Amino acid sequence: MREEFKPGTLIYPLPAVLVTCGSSPEEWNMLTIAWTGTVCTDPPMCYISVRKERHSHALISRTGEFVINLTTERLARATDWCGVRSGRDYDKFREMGLTPLAAKHVSAPLIAESPVAIECRVKQCIELGSHDMFLAEVVGVEVDADYIDSETGKFHLDKTGLLAYSHGAYYRLGEQLGTFGWSVRKRPAAKPAAQPAVKSAAKTSAKPTAKRAPKSAPKPVAKRRK
Ligand SMILES: Cc1cc2nc3c(=O)[nH]c(=O)nc-3n(C[C@H](O)[C@H](O)[C@H](O)COP(=O)(O)O)c2cc1C
């Protein structure tokens, strides 16, 4: 049986990011945002939706710039705190012991403790109702070099301990279940078993693994011998 809920958004999990804003160190601020996402790959574009009454709303509207800082388990407390306290009343960097770093392309700062900072310039502000959506172009991305493999150059985002937000609660990510496209990828052909001793050949041919092998896999050793 299914039950109907009144219309609302129940799209979870989401990231809960720390969005930094303001154009000078005296006004630099951050707020927690869950209504965020990617909207275009080329040009790279994303959005954040912010209520008009947020202190940050005025800063972002005025400067047209903000930075999306991804959050991690280590930033979990700060992520929550910055989402229930206002920059009108607190210096959130100081309260949370976080370090502002000058960004390369925008006047808003990065959070040094975040593994990924996405610098954004607002293209459009769309008034939707409760929230205004700031549609923005990504103008720069900075990552924590500690997560870059010095040999391969690969960025290990999976090792950063990213935080997820779902239905009012924060979670760490779980076990990896697959990678992009794995569902249709051909499984590597099973290695032919080592040549068994003649005595056990009958047993080998009875193994059910042959049935499960993909069509392209080499035929089981026992059959080929026939
Ligand atoms: C997990 C979480 C997600 C939030 N997501 C949003 C959001 O998407 N948009 C928004 O306007 N406020 C959101 N908030 C609330 C703001 O972060 C909060 O009101 C904050 O205190 C505003 O800070 P400011 O007044 O310094 O700008 C969220 C809060 C939490 C805890």
| pLDDT tens-digit series, residues 112-127 | 999 999 999 999 999 9
Dihedral over Cα of 37, 39, 45, 47: its sign: negative
| pLDDT tens-digit series, residues 65-112 | 999 999 999 999 999 999 999 999 999 999 999 999 999 999 999 999
Out of 32, 35, 126, give the residue to mutate to test ligand 1, the one with the largest number of ligand atoms within 8 Å of its CB. Answer: 32
Q: Which are the contacts of 214, defined by CB distance < 8 A and separation ≥ 6?
A: 186, 187, 189
* Domain architecture of the chain: domains with CATH: 17-172 (2.30.110.10), 193-226 (no CATH)
Identify the pLDDT of residue 175.
96
Q: How far is the CA of 33 from the centre of ligand 1 (A)?
A: 5
- The letter for the amino acid at 87 is G
Asked if pLDDT for residue 19 goes beyond 70, the answer is yes
Question: What are the two backbone dihedrals, phi and then psi, of residue 77, each rounded to the nearest 5 degrees?
Answer: -65, -45
| pLDDT tens-digit series, residues 180-218 | 999 999 877 777 766 655 544 444 333 444 444 444 444
Q: How far is the CA of 71 from the centre of ligand 1 (A)?
A: 14
Would you call the peptide bond into 43 cis, given omega within 30 degrees of 0 as the criterion? yes
Residues touching ligand 1 (Cβ under 6 Å) are 16, 29, 31-35, 49-51, 54-56, 80, 83-88, 131, 165
Structure tokens at 180: 């992009």
pLDDT mean over 52-64: 98
- Cα-to-chain-centroid distance, residue 58: 27
Q: Which atom of ligand 1 is nearest to the CA of 90?
A: 26
Q: How far is the CA of 225 from the centre of ligand 1 (A)?
A: 68
Identify the pLDDT of residue 196.
57
Q: Rounded distance, CA 50 to CA 59, Å? A: 11
Minimum mean pLDDT range among 1-5, 161-165, 170-174, 209-213? 209-213
Q: What pairs with residue 163 in β-bridges?
A: 172
pTM of the model: 0.86
Q: How far is the CA of 83 from the centre of ligand 1 (A)?
A: 4
